[in-house]
Amino acid sequence: MFENKERTDINELGEFGLIKHLTSHFEIKNDQSVKGIGDDAAVLDAQGKQILISTDLLLEGIHFDLAYVPLVHLGYKAVQVNLSDIYAMNGVASQITVSLGLSSKFPLEAVEEIYKGIELACKKYNIDVIGGDTSSSKQGLVISITSIGYVDADKVVYRNGAQENDLLCVSGDLGGAYLGLQILEREKLIYLENPQVQPDLEGKDYIIERQLKPEARRDIVALLADMDIKPTSMIDVSDGLASEILHLATQSDKGITIYEEKIPLDPMTYETARELGLDPTVCALSGGEDYELLFTISQEDYKKLKHDVDITVIGHVTDKNSGCKMISKSEKVHELKAQGWNAFKK
């Protein structure tokens, strides 16, 4: 990957030198960040708000494949995936810690690429990198990010607050990230068979971007606050719509019914699914990695958001005994099952 480029051995810098090299130009932007990198721990001031903490572990060969994921995108996505959890609590993310395990095949330039992506995401989302750990790895690349956010105590939205007759809403569109992955996997196989063939990604830019460079929906949290809507429950779509619906329903002790025709699909998602012989609805239900927000609102709040093109009402909350189901376009009733992405099945 870096054969023809400059290669600087990480060992020349040592652990402290490497962290300094990678992070010394990062500026602290949030006034909750009292002390960032450089001591035993970071120091934060919540200024009276509640603190949200979320953490993710990303492992080479399980969560990403360096054969087709550019390192700068990997860094960017690793941050987004984590921020998404903070937004799913209705909070504002302000800090992350970044830990990297680097195999010896990684020159300094490769680590700089990862950090370039991290920095890009942090700039765009106003996030301070306040700590982390860097180590060599005898295995593949390991990325562990912890994100920290803030929210007023009365504004936290949990998964368990959905009430009967609430409306189920989702931001953006679904299934694109999964189909982007299918295209990347297909091109990788073609490349492995014949390295002369250039990857054919033409006309697939949107779904490839959904896979490689997802955007956590901070804007939706801000939009809901502007509309004076506090969702009754919320979760981010990381494992697929069906799996997330089951989480909201189970934790709220309710049932949820959705309508297939309401599920928002981008035309490129739809066409690519058809092209690959896949059911677009199944891609949305089980694909995952869309990082959209799925939330329930009370019926009174419907009028506040009904004209927003970026939020779609796809169903409603029912009593527990009705279970979780989808009414298909042909008006058949399907029970929803979690067949989402499961790191243990890969």
Where in 82-121 is the site for a copy of itself (CB under 8 A)?
Answer: 84-86, 88-89, 91, 95, 97, 99-101
Q: How far is the CB of 59 from a copy of itself (least distance, A)?
A: 5
Indicate the residue among 52 and 229 with the shorter CB distance to a copy of itself: 52
Binding of a copy of itself at residue 62 (CB under 8 A)? yes
Closest CB 251 distance from a copy of itself, rounded Å = 7
Q: Which residues contact 226 (CB under 8 A, 6 or more apart)?
A: none
Is the Cβ–Cβ distance between 120 and 79 less than 8 Å? no
Q: In the complex with a copy of itself, which residue's Cβ is closer, 155 or 320?
A: 155
Measured CA to CA, the distance from residue 204 to residue 185 in angstroms comes to 13
Residue 251 touches a copy of itself, criterion: CB under 8 A: yes
Task: Check residue 14 for interaction with a copy of itself (CB under 8 A).
Answer: yes
Classify residue 109 as exposed, middle or buried by CB count within 10 Å of its CB (0-12, 13-18, 19+): middle
List binding-site positions for ATP. Answer: 115, 132-133, 159, 238
Regarding 201 and contact with a copy of itself (CB under 8 A), the answer is no
List the one residue out of 62, 142, 65 whose CA is nearest residue 99.
142
* C-alpha span between 253 and 219 (Å, rounded): 29
Nearer of residues 51 and 313 to a copy of itself, judged by Cβ: 51
Q: Which of 7, 15, 152, 200 binds a copy of itself (CB under 8 A)?
A: 15
Is 29 a binder of a copy of itself (CB under 8 A)? no
Our finding on whether 8 is near a copy of itself (CB under 8 A) is no
Q: How far is the CB of 346 from a copy of itself (least distance, A)?
A: 7
Distance between CA atoms of 103 and 22, rounded to whole angstroms? 17
Among 19, 44, 216, 220, binds a copy of itself (CB under 8 A): 44
Sites for a copy of itself among residues 206-235 (CB under 8 A): 234-235
Report the residue from 94, 144, 171, 272 that binds a copy of itself according to the rule CB under 8 A. 144
Q: Does 78 bind a copy of itself (CB under 8 A)?
A: no
CA angle (165, 171, 286) in 5-degree steps? 85
Minimum CB separation from a copy of itself for residue 46, in Å? Answer: 5
Crossing angle between the packed helical segments 14-23 and 108-125, to the nearest 10 degrees: 40
Distance of closest approach, residue 303 Cβ to a copy of itself, in angstroms: 27
Coil, strand, or helix at residue 82?
Answer: helix
Q: How far apart, in whole angstroms, are the C-alpha atoms of residue 180 and residue 234?
A: 25
Out of 50, 163, 322, 339, name the contact with a copy of itself by CB under 8 A: 50
Q: In the structure encoding, which two tokens stand for residue 275, read together?
A: 């092209």
Residue 230, amino acid: K
The Cα–Cα gap between 188 and 306 comes to: 42
Q: Of 251 and 298, which has the nearer Cβ to a copy of itself?
A: 251
SS3 for 248?
Answer: helix
Asked whether position 307 contacts a copy of itself by CB under 8 A, the answer is no
> Is 159 an interacting residue with respect to a copy of itself (CB under 8 A)?
yes
Among the residue ranges 12-20, 23-31, 66-74, 191-199, the one whose residues contact a copy of itself (CB under 8 A):
12-20
- End-to-end C-alpha distance for the chain, whole angstroms: 25
Residues 6+ apart with CB under 8 A from 266: 173, 175, 176, 206, 207
